[in-house]
Chains A and B, each alone.
Chain A
């Protein structure tokens, strides 16, 4: 076909490239893996997995050529349901595995059997979060250009992690990583979904090297829905034992995650993190928690904001509400009764998690006061008289950040930043962390300006280029400020110390008597004895042999790496380790109006108090929260990736995948609480995923509360009008029968 440059299939890819390496060292966590090449070889494991690639002169020709490719599939048995997949004799997604369980965890703490035997009461139930995806405004895309004279491959990618991607590309192509330069231009949203390595990335790199010309690939939205990675599809079976005063004495939790087909993407780890966070902000002395991460013939999981933490918080909210219902206690009271207290940190959670700090009771008190919890019954009663049904709900979230996994070149707990002050006093910051569009470069500039004592306009932050920036893990797990920002702080402090020594010589004062504020360095107490930031920079570069530079190394450049504390990778005897150093948290309270005739829900008010430690930029932090809350509302009420019983995808456009708009998301009321973590120099905890977890429990709770005359049980997200209406019908039938 004219205009077609080449067609490749899995056979060639297997010959010419290596499989994509797994995200973490599988032996460190006991994970089953499958060989995953840049194109599928022999077996396609889900609808959407690429079997061939066409390179053409233009996009039209490439797609027209794709239409001409016919694939003869031999149909294999389908694995569509994770619980069916767990049964003995079920067809296998990976024939060599022996079963469909990719990963499992089982931990017992205390004596759950005794706790259940001695309880005043027990509850049990089931909840399920839906399969969803992040919908960045820009889908995936990359451009690769190979220079045969230098042997360098330049790779522009809408990615969150340029340095790790470079290593993954190098390993897949079998070349040294120094022969690849990855450049991350401005990214139109990541939400975790652009953490490498997708099949398309090494594929495009391979094709550019093969053809010796630049190759571009830009994803279509309908492709993104079936191949871009999914999240959340998790079923929970729970039992809880409690005392009459609301104290939870024991839990038994079974977590079953449908992680889709095996891949080298990091998404399956979300199921681990769901299990890892349990039982979140609560102290429960006896517990038994089981996790089964099950593979099916669906699109693999990929990281999505919340990374499984959301699902754990949702489950615990449902359990707390269930106990409140059974005991007749207030929902907030049950939570207060079971919180880890502020003086109990660091708090070891059953999974091996080491919670750093927090003040959960204070946050809940604040949000209850924001929403006028005391006054709500009166408001509810007044509305009821007008024929309107209002409900109030509470949702807790615990969103640990700074993920550090053993043996991982993709997710780890350190990063580098270089701070350079030029001869004219301009500041360049080169950092290994990146921005997916969230604005962390502004926060890093603020940290550097503060530490140097210069004005913010002097500081330029450079991110996302492996030839310019220090090695870094990039952006995920809200780490850009807590890890990259901490490295920036350390480097800037080092430069400032040198500048103060030079300034001290210039002012004939002692360095410890100097202050640097907003571009001026002056003697404390005598602000007239001052030099400017620019004068000191000029002195360093122009007079390295002068008296003011006596015994001082030339230039104003420092590069520092920050390794965050509170991470323990040496597994103890039950295999537990600490992967998250920092534990931001929050609590939401919302008021909804429910139309009992249609099941339609309108959010009237949404308040949230979040605690992400020290906040560097309140405007950006709030903007992050707005996005997180909107995505949480989407997961609670609107969004679902659907498959039929034969694992055929049914959701390929925004017509079916309904994300909330400005009309559905109410004006958000935010309260800040700052409990600094002791593990970063500035007490920052990370705010990038905050807000996304609490809406799930809060909205379920509010909808149930709006119809107190019915024993409404909401178990499955998203709470579409159809589902809420069905739950109302069931509750009415039960009431009639009862």
Chain B
């Protein structure tokens, strides 16, 4: 039950949205799919006095293929990420991640930009963005800038976005032909937030691995080995490196910190194995 009054704006352009968010930088909140903000308001955890809805801005809803990248508008819903042929062709792990978010209703409403900007540590997209080396285009009253995903996530629901800034686009460099990738998650229930998740991309000799869910923000796993050999030793090193990267794992009702750290390792290794198997 939302018990406080708030002003509601539904601008039709990014420029208007940014201008409104600039005016209400202190107490305003951008509303995308509302799958996190609205429950938080219902529980009284979030109490914004101004809501700027992005749901009537057509220019934020697109998937565009470029020669070496794919650009995704921030308001593209999870259901479209799950089914879009361009995304599916170049980033099968992103399709997998979108397909396991919440339930059908959540996927029909929730957006890729909303999830990334909200930056829940357990969100499915986060390690995928880090592993794919995504770039986020953000617009504020001072103009536009890009932020690499690897610099974007700062902590629990903390990002590099300045007050009043709006995430408008996700740009992903295409994976080369023959690359393998995978996204895996460990969750207590189908549809619940993961305890740990991992994304792996094998495009060259060095695998790229990111793990999420275990720490306040997703981490890129530093892997000092070539894994083409696929040896048990190399996989063990991946597991150890991911555990190391999640030294600051947190505990909650679902899992102890020790467990999260261990699962970061297990899921990093399994993601690498799955990415290897997915190579063509």
Contacts and interface: CB of A to CB of B under 8 A. Distances in A.
Interface of A: 59-60, 63-64, 66-67, 220, 222, 597-600, 638, 640, 642, 650-653, 655-656, 658-661, 663-664, 720-722, 725-726
Contacts of A599: 259
Given A66-B3, A220-B1, A598-B263, A660 B43 contact: no
A67 B253 contact: no
Contacts, number: 65
Given A64-B3, A600-B186, 15 more contacts: A64-B4, A64-B5, A67-B4, A655-B193, A656-B253, A658-B192, A658-B254, A660-B189, A661-B189, A663-B189, A663-B191, A720-B188, A721-B255, A722-B195, A722-B254
A721 B188 contact: yes
Contact of A638 (B1, B189, B195): B189
A465 B211 CA distance: 58
Residue among A656, A658, A726 with max Cβ neighbours from chain B (10 Å): A658
A97 B262 CA distance: 48
B253 A661 contact: no
B208 interface: no
B272 to A, nearest CB: 14
A651 B253 contact: yes
Contacts of B192: 655, 658
B189 A658 contact: yes
Contacts of A653: 39, 43
B63 interface: no
Contacts of A642: 253
12 contacts: A66-B3, A598-B186, A598-B263, A598-B266, A650-B253, A655-B192, A655-B193, A663-B189, A721-B186, A721-B195, A721-B259, A726-B259
Contacts of B266: 597-598
Contacts of A220: 1
Interface residues of B, number: 25
Given A60-B3, A650-B253, A722 B189 contact: no
B189 A222 contact: no
B64 interface: no
B13 interface: no
B190 A638 contact: no
B256 interface: yes
A60 B2 CA distance: 7
Nearest to A218: B1
Contacts of A640: 253
B188 A663 contact: no
Contact of B254 (A63, A67, A222, A720): A720
A664 B259 CA distance: 22
Contacts of A721: 186, 188, 195, 255, 259
Interface in B190-228: 190-193, 195
Given A600-B186, A655-B192, A664-B190, A722 B3 contact: no
B3 A652 contact: no
Contacts of A600: 186
Given A652-B43, A653-B43, A63 B188 contact: no
Interface string B28-59: 00000000000100110000000000000000
A651 B252 CA distance: 11
Interface string B76-117: 000000000000000000000000000000000000000000
Residue among B1, B2, B39 with max Cβ neighbours from chain A (10 Å): B1
Contacts of A222: 42-43
Contacts of A656: 253
